Structure 1
């Protein structure tokens, strides 16, 4: 099953995830981390890891949250979302981690 911005590319490695997070931050968006064990495109109910990171401007801090989520839920899909305060909605989303059996 494929979905998201990078769905037809190989899974992103840690450096590529960090680069994408930095790009989202450079656009002025805030980020959140979500996870699920059911990645179907019609599944709108991913669980949020913590709260949206409105005040974080450092990719390393967001990577820490991403890695903590991955460690806590190694069998789940994890995605990164970017929110634009001006548009008041999500503008970026990509799956940053696939479980080992899906890679």
Structure 2
């Protein structure tokens, strides 16, 4: 994994208030976890960007090191790593994601 991948990931996270690294696209998620993450964000009505890790091997491997998190999808809000789809679901069910986005994040 190159420093270039890390720099690209850092730039993407910085440029997008809400960013989901996922497998596939919002219209065609390529795994159930990515599909669940998209459903949660869509249900909350949040504006978000996505990065399809299947299109770039450097990003696919690099994001795991960038966040020190082994799985995809990965959600970032205002530059901070939030978690994967399971954490997103727990936060959604607890009302914590609503609160996170209500504090000014692209709601």
TM-score over 0.5 for the pair: no
Q: Relative to total residues, which structure has the larger strand share, 1 or 2?
A: 1
TM-score, reference length from structure 1: 0.30
TM-score of the aligned structures, taking structure 2 as reference length: 0.29
Q: Structure 1 or 2: larger helix share?
A: 2
